[in-house]
Amino acid sequence: MAGVEKWQEQLRQWVDNGQLRQATFSQLRRKDGSIPPKTTVRPIQLKGSLHYQFEYHFATKVTHDNVPQADAALRMAGWLEEHYRQALFKTDTADVQVLFNKKGKAAVLGKPATAKGEQDQLSHNRQKERVIQEGEAAPFMVELGIMTKDGRVASKKQDKFRQINRFLEMVTDVLPYLPEGREIKIVDFGCGKSYLTFALYYLLAIQQKRQISVIGLDLKEDVIAFCSELARKLGYDRLHFQVGDIAQYNEQTNIDMVVTLHACDTATDAALVKAVEWGAAVILSVPCCQHELFRQISNDSLRPLLAHGLLKERFAALATDAVRAQLLEVLGYKVQLLEFIDPEHTPKNMLIRAALGRKDDTERKWREYEAFRDVLQLSPYLERELSSRLPQAGLP
């Protein structure tokens, strides 16, 4: 398999036969900023036909271009010859590396396939990563300016598109905990512009045809007015928005899922308290601005850490979420702390995902919590508000 013409022909056959699983182009010939330092290519299904998605990795952004199967081999060959010195093609039968020297001559190296037999798994993973596929326009995304009417993601909205899909992936994993055979009731505290609220409704009510009702709550009247009008325009008749405060909200008695994204400081805890009191089966919370424990934390042994404001702030934020997770565990929730989006884009990237199960090892978890709390001399809002439900309430 030597020479440029031979590898080009082989590439065309891989693409035509649907055998190419991934291509990676790297080592720029010229670094003028117009060409991404790395480009990856993967097969995707769009509207029932095979395309190849070109993912361009620039220093500060990632963009995409979906190319029909018939044009993909020519695009890749030209892309490599003009812009890169190296490419790795992963196929069903082999991994093939093409290397160009300074004189433009190609060397081709082959080794056993790492993608062999992985086609079904790769397809599954792509579907999980992209609950909403590019190329298939979701009406709410079009209205919010994330997608064009033909399903292309706006270049400035790629981060938001990935964030929405990441959120829906996390929701999909806990759907088995939600009730079957009846309406699912959901409350989104601090919904803001409601990108994720609309996405959640789209997933459950439109894609999965589930019977649901969703309430979005926020303090900003103009935001609520905008979201209410958009829900009406989209025909999302089981999605409603209200102006209100988390701590004062008492209009519901039984809620199945509570979502709270970037509720500031103890507003996150107030939402968690409501969720526990309602017996919510699922809680999804992205905390924000954890100030409460910053003012409380004290430990002589940790003085080298706590003496620096920046370190203390970060430590306090981690301690706050550890408190929340452990108390939810004590109350019978299975808790995971997950990276919500790439920390490159925001430091507020941790999501608390809790699903209600059986209370297991409650006393041990409570003792662990007490030891953690006491060594840092903490008095958390969440513990005080849930005190009647915690093991200490039954102690003499």
**Residue range 80-125, pLDDT digits in tens:** 989 999 999 999 888 999 998 877 788 888 888 876 544 444 444 4
Residue 217 near residue 242, CB atoms below 8 Å: yes
Mean pLDDT of all residues in 43-72? 85
pLDDT digits 0-9 by tens, 140-151: 999 999 999 888
Q: How far apart are CA 112 and CA 98, in angstroms?
A: 15
Mean pLDDT of all residues in 247-262? 83
Q: Given this model, what pLDDT does residue 341 score?
A: 65
For residue 393, is pLDDT > 80? no
Q: How far apart are CA 33 and CA 19, in angstroms?
A: 32
Q: What whole-number percentage of the chain has pLDDT above 90?
A: 48
pLDDT higher for 213 or 158? 213
Q: How far apart are CA 114 and CA 120, in angstroms?
A: 14
Q: How far apart are CA 383 and CA 389, in angstroms?
A: 9
pLDDT digits 0-9 by tens, 313-354: 999 999 999 999 999 999 999 999 988 764 444 455 788 999
Q: Which residues of 339-349 are buried (b: 16+ CB within 10 A; e: fewer)?
A: ebbeeeeeebe
Tokens 């022909």 found at = 9
Q: Residues of CATH 3.40.50.150 domain(s) within the chain?
A: 154-394
Q: Across all residues in the chain, what is the average pLDDT?
A: 86
Residue 234 near residue 214, CB atoms below 8 Å: no
Mean pLDDT of all residues in 40-64? 84
pTM of the model: 0.66
Q: Which two tokens stand for residue 92?
A: 């069903």
List, as one string, the DSSP characters of 328-377: HHHTTEEEEEEE-S-TTT-S--EEEEEEE----SHHHHHHHHHHHHHHTT
Tell me the CATH number for domain 154-394. Answer: 3.40.50.150
pLDDT digits 0-9 by tens, 227-253: 999 999 999 999 999 998 777 777 777
Q: What whole-number percentage of the chain has pLDDT above 70?
A: 91
For residue 394, is pLDDT > 60? no
